[in-house]
Amino acid sequence: MRKIISVAIDGPAAAGKSTIAKKVAKILNFTYIDTGAMYRAFTYYVMKKGVDPQDEEAACALIPEVEINLEPGDVVLVNQEDVTKQIRETYISSNVSYIASYRAIRLALVEQQRRLARNNSVIMDGRDIGTYVLPDADVKIFQVASVHTRAIRRYEENLEKGIQCTLQQIEDDLVRRDYIDSNREFAPLRQAPDAVLLDTSLMSIEEVVVRVLEIIVAKTGYEVPKL
């Protein structure tokens, strides 16, 4: 039987983590786990309930009634409702950092994330995967890009999806979210000491995929199927 391998990809918002993780997972036949989607789904539920996402006590009181499922094809369900599209809307992106800063919500979602990594080879992306969720991950990558590059990438993605916004709005929102994610008390965004730093500002998606595969092979000896 093949050894179970875990790959953690952390980094700031819109650094291209999920694009790369999805492609690498497909090549290696690993399960891709988008932990940001879980925090987004929780935020969606809080706001649907009319609860203020900045009200920690009220948001955390919803924990027992929220069930989040990540399904094949990047489908995200909250209590069986398909919220795949809604969780990418601007009002969710602007509020998710508050929800992700609440310890009780993090503990609930982290437990689920660890369970998912127990029996399958996974590529998990987020902010605290290498430092907190999977501290013993076989491979840790800290993926970064300049804030301007990240804003342009997210702007182009939004245009494609028909989401209205300006480049300046996106850049301001990324800076604000990174600040909250990096300065929260519990499991903040940090590069793990044993993570490989990967600056993708000047790299194409294909170049990043190849580099990540190289890192996985070097760290684990895993044989990558012929592309």
Q: Contacting ligand DC (CB under 6 A), which of 6, 97, 131, 143?
A: 97
Q: Contacting ligand DC (CB under 6 A), which of 16, 24, 32, 39?
A: 39
Report the nearest approach of ligand DC to the CB of residue 76 (Å).
11
Position 40 contacts ligand DC (CB under 6 A): yes
Rounded CA-CA distance 150/89 in Å is: 17
Position 196 contacts ligand DC (CB under 6 A): no
Position 208 contacts ligand DC (CB under 6 A): no
Report the nearest approach of ligand DC to the CB of residue 177 (Å).
5
Rounded CA-CA distance 52/102 in Å is: 13
Report the nearest approach of ligand DC to the CB of residue 127 (Å).
4
Q: Contacting ligand DC (CB under 6 A), which of 23, 153, 154, 177?
A: 177
Position 131 contacts ligand DC (CB under 6 A): no
Rounded CA-CA distance 167/85 in Å is: 21
Give the number of other Cβ atoms within 10 Å of residue 72's Cβ: 7
Choice between 78 and 100, CB closer to ligand DC: 100
Give the number of other Cβ atoms within 10 Å of residue 42's Cβ: 27
Report the nearest approach of ligand DC to the CB of residue 100 (Å).
3
Report the nearest approach of ligand DC to the CB of residue 181 (Å).
5
Q: Contacting ligand DC (CB under 6 A), which of 9, 20, 78, 126?
A: 126
Strands (E), 31-138: 31-34, 68-71, 75-78, 81-82, 122-126
What sign does the CA torsion over 187, 24, 75, 175 have? positive
Binding segment (CB under 6 A) for ligand DC, from list 71-79, 123-131, 165-173, 219-227: 123-131
| The two structure tokens encoding residue 19 | 């694009």
The distance from CA 206 to its chain's CA centroid, rounded to whole angstroms, is 20
Choice between 177 and 196, CB closer to ligand DC: 177
Rounded CA-CA distance 214/224 in Å is: 9
| The two structure tokens encoding residue 109 | 């979602």
Name the one residue in this structure whose structure tokens are 């044989």. Answer: 223
Spatial contact of 157 and 19, defined as CB atoms under 8 Å apart: no
Binding segment (CB under 6 A) for ligand DC, from list 35-43, 47-55, 167-175, 209-217: 35-43
Rg of the Cα atoms in the chain? 17
Query: What residues make contact with ligand DC under the rule CB under 6 A?
Result: 13, 35-36, 39-40, 96-97, 100, 126-129, 177, 181
